[in-house]
Amino acid sequence: MTHFPIALLLFSTGCDFASVMFEKLPFARGLRVVSYYGLAVAALASLGAVVSGIALTKGDLWGRDAGEDAPSLLKLQIIGAHRTLVIQSGIKGEMRSFSKKYYAQDTVAIVAYLKTLH
């Protein structure tokens, strides 16, 4: 359900692009109509994707109190050094390393910000 609106949007964009490229041909107007209605249906179908996402997360949009399936990251008691290590090294199979993206002082700032969220 969530990928259908994306596919429909791409199809609609393709039809619109083709209608511009072949505007002198008789079927160009038909392509514009297909593009318009495809976009309208994609917009409506995206509402279904949002509703299904909310249903799958049981209404928990921010990761708080999701129960045993997903523990709240705000409740974890992790010291700053461990957070720094996780940001720099990552977690195998779960989170990539950010050592090439952030310098040491950036990581310290990120950890300090995370501490303010409690």
Locate the domains of the chain by residue range.
Answer: 4-56, 80-116
Yes or no: say if 39 and 12 are a contact pair by the CB < 8 Å rule.
yes
**pLDDT given for residue 32 in this prediction:** 92
Q: Report d(CA 54, CA 95) in Å as an integer.
A: 24
In degrees, to the nearest 5, what angle opens at C-alpha 15 toward C-alphas 13 and 21?
A: 105
**pLDDT given for residue 84 in this prediction:** 83
**pLDDT given for residue 118 in this prediction:** 59
**pLDDT given for residue 18 in this prediction:** 92
**pLDDT given for residue 66 in this prediction:** 46
- pLDDT tens-place values along the chain, 118 residues long: 678 888 999 999 999 999 999 988 988 899 999 999 999 999 998 888 888 877 777 766 665 554 554 445 555 566 777 888 888 888 887 778 888 888 888 888 888 888 787 5
- Two structure tokens written together for 23: 């505007």
**pLDDT given for residue 36 in this prediction:** 92
